[in-house]
Amino acid sequence: MKKAKYITTLILLLVFASGIHGAKFFIYRKKGITPSPTAAGKTKGSLNAPLHIVEYTDFQCPACAKGADFLGEYFFKYPDKFLVEYRHFPLTQIHPNALKIAVYAECAAKQRKFWPYHDQLFVRRAALAETDDIDGNLKKIAEELKLDSKKLAACVQDEKTADAVLKEKAVGKGLGVSATPTYFVNDKMAVGIKGLTPILEEYFKAGKP
């Protein structure tokens, strides 16, 4: 009977392994990075760049702020090597203001001021996390960057904007994004700066064109 117990154990281990691999295959089949309908205005760099980075971030996430600085340094040094596309992934469970901030950023993109707005959101991340007047603060950034306030207000109040942000997040979830920042470098997933660093170092050490 001991033999039967060992055989049962082995069969169960195979069942568990098959179950997990089957579930992964079913969930992630055909899931490559597809162009985002809301990419316009949230992309920077050279269209012919060898490194296409799609980043899923949350403007309230401290690691994302560091990631923005980190990637920004590389972008500054090698602007023709990168095409960087920002995609929203507000972690609303732990950052209550994240969705609202993402909506404002999405509206800034419509006025072609996404990246300056993005930079200010990270610079003021801590203050935005603690403020009682999040709308006031976000409007203030928009004023400083000379966004059209009426267009901004209409965009922020339009439900379609929040829907677009959440849809972008849902696409990210479908790709397996769970934490922020998550990067896809030429479709290869990397989570956090520690995950991104080896990919970038390997590329630049190899002296690739």
Partner 1 sequence: MKINGFFLGRLFLGLIYVVSGAEKLIQPLENFVYVIEGYQILPFPVLEKISAMVFPWIELIIGGFLILGLWTRLCLIGAGICTTSFVIIIGQAILRRLPLTDCGCFGDLVRLPLPVTLVMDILLWTLTAILFVNAGKTAVVSLDNYFSKKH
The residues that touch partner 1, with contacts defined as CB under 8 A, are 1-2, 4-5, 8-9, 12-13, 16, 20, 23-24, 27, 62-63, 93-94, 173, 176, 178-179, 182, 189-192, 194-195
Q: Supply φ then ψ for residue 45, to 5 degrees.
A: 115, -165
Residue 147 and residue 121: Cα distance in Å, rounded?
A: 15
Residue 86 and residue 131: Cα distance in Å, rounded?
A: 25
Nearest distance in Å: CB 189, partner 1: 5
Nearest distance in Å: CB 202, partner 1: 13
Residue 80 and residue 50: Cα distance in Å, rounded?
A: 8
**Closer residue to partner 1 (CB): 123 or 179:** 179
Listed residue (164, 138, 158, 165) closest to 149, CA to CA: 138
Nearest distance in Å: CB 177, partner 1: 8
Listed residue (160, 157, 68, 145) closest to 111, CA to CA: 145
Nearest distance in Å: CB 27, partner 1: 7
Residue 157 and residue 140: Cα distance in Å, rounded?
A: 17
**Closer residue to partner 1 (CB): 9 or 149:** 9
**Closer residue to partner 1 (CB): 149 or 178:** 178
**Closer residue to partner 1 (CB): 12 or 40:** 12
